[in-house]
């Protein structure tokens, strides 16, 4: 006798669901980090690792995937969350969110400034870039079931 479980999702449906939930988690975590950093003006690079772990955890529990595409999506969503958080912090925290949403013309300059800050050659930015890379690795590693 065959038992059909019609409510279970196949691998592709779980991946699409994980993409949707991962995107929402990236936007929420990035916004929360940007507001905290914009308000306190104290950058905590350890939060990048926590953001990566949280996004990886969400992708792993929702998607329950074992394929490499879940891991790549987790890494990309972690990068998105870091970029959103840094962008919100650059334009002034919670007060800058409406300006970012309503004025897409500044997105290019925000991206340029973000790259300039992160790719400068002083020790602080190199360590910050290392922590961001570690956060992206956490998002990559914890997005799949091992």
In-domain check, residue 3: no
Q: Which domain holds residue 49?
A: 11-141
Q: What number is the average pLDDT over the span 52-75?
A: 90
* pLDDT confidence of residue 98: 75
Three-state secondary structure readout of the chain: CCCCCCCCCCHHHHHHHHHHHHHHHHHHHHHHHHHHHHHHCCCCCHHHHHHHHHHHHHHHHHHCCCCHHHHHHHHHHHHHHHHHHHHHHHCCHHHHHHHHHHCHHHHHHHHHHHHHHHCCCCHHHHHHHHHHHHHHHHHHHCCCCC
4 inside domain: no
126 located within any domain: yes
**Banded model confidence at residue 74, pLDDT cuts 50, 70, 90:** very high
Statement: residue 78 has pLDDT above 80: yes
1 belongs to a structural domain: no
Number of domains in the chain: 1
pTM: 0.83
Residue 5 scores a pLDDT above 60 = no
Look at residue 60 and tell me if it is in a domain. yes
State residue 1's pLDDT score: 43
Tell me if 87 is assigned to some domain: yes
């Amino acid at each position: 006798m065959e038992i059909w479980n019609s409510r279970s999702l196949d691998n592709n449906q779980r991946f699409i669901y994980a993409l949707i939930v991962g995107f929402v988690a990236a936007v929420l975590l990035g916004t929360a980090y940007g507001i905290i950093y914009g308000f306190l003006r104290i950058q905590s690079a350890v939060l990048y690792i926590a953001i990566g772990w949280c996004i990886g955890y969400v992708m792993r529990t929702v998607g329950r995937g074992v394929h490499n595409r879940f891991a790549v999506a987790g890494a990309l969503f972690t990068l998105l969350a870091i970029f959103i958080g840094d962008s919100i912090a650059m334009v002034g925290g919670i007060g800058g969110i409406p300006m970012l949403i309503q004025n897409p013309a500044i997105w290019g300059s925000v991206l340029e400034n973000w790259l300039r800050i992160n790719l400068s050659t002083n020790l602080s930015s190199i360590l910050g870039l290392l922590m961001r890379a570690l956060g992206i690795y956490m998002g990559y590693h914890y997005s799949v079931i091992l």
